[in-house]
Chain A
Amino acid sequence: MMIERLNPGLLDREFIGKKIEETGARFIPLGNGFFHCLDDVLRQTLLGRDTNLGIQTDRLSDHERRIIERDFSYSYHY
């Protein structure tokens, strides 16, 4: 745990991630690499809209939510 806290890469990710979110963009940090988190990413973004995983709309940005509401008449999964 202490080693993780001292890892400059992770500190930079946390620091820059906050700054990215302050601009209004969305920041999704993945711990174990993208391949292992593919389903999570699909559930949290519009990239998963054609899958049967179900999108967690509460995680989407306002802009993504507007698009999904308007274009896809999506049934929400909370």
Chain B
Amino acid sequence: MSVFYKKQRRILLEAFRFFKRIIQSSDEVWLLTSRFDPDKIRERFPFLRRVIDLFQRKVIDDFPFLDGASISRIERLAYLFKQDKQGAAVLSEKSLNIKKRKEQLLRLIENFRQKNGEDIVVYIIGSSLFDRRAVLGLCQENANLASKIVYIDT
């Protein structure tokens, strides 16, 4: 989901409204993104630092990058809507592998379930074939969770 227009200069109003409403209606929200974090690339692969620096000003705000500043900006916006510093997190290491993506979802759901008990409903909003199949695998392998999951396919 993109709340900001390209180059982060203007906010897309429909996306802003959606983001605000979902954050306010949920106890916890996780935004999983598979975009690359250039800060982490610099840290892990120092030999790519110059290349990342070269493109920083030109393409870094657009797909497929999402840097630490953008993530902080999204989290700050979420905190503003929730009126506190809990309940919203941006996770920038969403796997491109369906099985790993399913395991990531399962870990998040299990943590949430441990804190909140059995009476939870998990709304998963996804759009790609990978999200859809990860959710299918998750439901097929965890029959006790399936009835608590609502998958919204955009």
Contacts and interface: CB of A to CB of B under 8 A. Distances in A.
A72 B51 CA distance: 54
A29 B152 CA distance: 6
B139 A23 contact: yes
A61 B1 CA distance: 26
B70 to A, nearest CB: 19
What class of interface size applies to chain B in its complex with A? 20 to 34
Chain A, interface SS category: helix
Interface string B8-41: 0000101101100110111000000000000000
Contacts of B151: 20, 25-28
Interface stretch (B73-81, B88-96, B125-133): B125-133
Given A20-B135, A25-B150, A25-B151, A47 B25 contact: yes
Interface of A: 9, 12-13, 16-17, 19-20, 23-30, 33-38, 41-42, 45-51, 61-64, 67, 71
* In the complex, the 10 A-B pairs of residues with the closest C-beta atoms, listed nearest first: A35-B14, A23-B139, A24-B146, A25-B149, A47-B25, A26-B150, A23-B146, A34-B154, A25-B139, A25-B146
Given A33-B154, A34-B18, A45-B121, 12 more contacts: A9-B129, A13-B132, A20-B136, A20-B151, A23-B140, A23-B143, A25-B147, A25-B150, A35-B18, A45-B152, A47-B25, A50-B24
Interface of B: 1, 12, 14-15, 17-18, 21-22, 24-26, 119, 121, 123, 125, 129, 132-133, 135-136, 139-140, 143, 146-154
